[in-house]
Chains A and B, each alone.
Chain A
Amino acid sequence: DVQLVESGGGLVQPGGSLRLSCAASGLTFSSTWMSWVRQAPGKGLEWVANIRQDGSDKYYVDSVRGRFTISRDNAKNALYLQMDSLRVEDTAVYYCARDNSYVDHWGQGTLVTVSS
């Protein structure tokens, strides 16, 4: 079975940084695009960023471009999201997702709260 397990969420002050990790198993990690999708409390879903199999291409939604960096380590079957200059509006559950253009596997999510 495919398992995606996120970690690294927590409470951070506005302007701070946080690094999320996602440990993947049960899939050929190096052969698949991966994404981060977020969901603000009580709100809908928003695609944040995705990354090609070998890390050579990365795409970001406008609201995070220049502040967030997606990366991966295929040797460790791991996906990362470095989040800098965090804003209150970045508060959300962040999901690691296998990106088949649609998402066919989701992690359980990790909560990021940006508040003073």
Chain B
Amino acid sequence: EIVMTQSPATLSVSPGERATLSCRASQSVGSNLAWYRQKPGQAPRLFIYSASTRATGIPARFSGGGSGTEFTLTISSLQSEDFAVYYCQQYNKWPQTFGQGTKVEVK
């Protein structure tokens, strides 16, 4: 199975600042990569698919990039609701696999 590795495990950022999260695949997944945000006690929510396409209702401060094995999720100016855990997921091969998550916390 394809192993997804996210870094860092925890990112401490001040509100209004920029955050960049990384995700690496153990083999190429093309652009078949998604990003989710999960708040405590809630189900995940889709934010990005096809590596760089924002899902419905996702604000423009979120942007995804990369292809192959290296991907990034950038939040240009962190808002209070953005402090949460973010997961990447590849869907190039079954089983679809997730990274272990990056927690974005208030600095």
Within 8 Å of chain B (Cβ to Cβ): is A11?
no
Asked if A44 and B87 sit within 8 Å, CB to CB, the answer is yes
Asked if B87 and A102 sit within 8 Å, CB to CB, the answer is no
Least Cβ–Cβ distance between B97 and chain A, in angstroms: 7
Asked if A108 and B91 sit within 8 Å, CB to CB, the answer is no
Majority secondary structure of chain A interface residues (helix, strand, loop or mixed): strand
Contact A45:B87 (CB < 8 A) given known A103-B44, A108-B43: yes
Residues of A within 8 A of B97 (CB): 47
A102 to B49, CA, bound (A): 7
A44 to B32, CA, bound (A): 19
Q: Which residue of B lies closest to A108 (CB)?
A: B43
Within 8 Å of chain A (Cβ to Cβ): is B100?
yes
Residues of B within 8 A of A109 (CB): 43
Q: Which residue of B lies closest to A93 (CB)?
A: B43
Asked if B96 and A44 sit within 8 Å, CB to CB, the answer is no
Question: How many chain B residues touch A (Cβ–Cβ < 8 Å)?
Answer: 20
Asked if B94 and A44 sit within 8 Å, CB to CB, the answer is no
Asked if A102 and B43 sit within 8 Å, CB to CB, the answer is no
Asked if B96 and A101 sit within 8 Å, CB to CB, the answer is yes
Asked if B43 and A44 sit within 8 Å, CB to CB, the answer is no
Which A63-114 residues sit within 8 Å CB-CB of chain B? Answer: 95, 100-104, 106-109
Asked if A61 and B95 sit within 8 Å, CB to CB, the answer is yes
Q: Which residue of A lies closest to B55 (CB)?
A: A104
Contact A45:B95 (CB < 8 A) given known A101-B32, A102-B49, A102-B89: no
Least Cβ–Cβ distance between A97 and chain B, in angstroms: 9
Asked if A45 and B44 sit within 8 Å, CB to CB, the answer is yes
**A-B CB proximity, top 4 nearest:** A102-B34, A101-B91, A106-B43, A45-B98
Contact sample, A vs B, 15 pairs, CB 8 Å cutoff? A44-B87, A44-B99, A44-B101, A45-B87, A45-B89, A45-B98, A47-B96, A59-B95, A95-B44, A101-B32, A102-B34, A102-B89, A103-B46, A108-B43, A109-B43
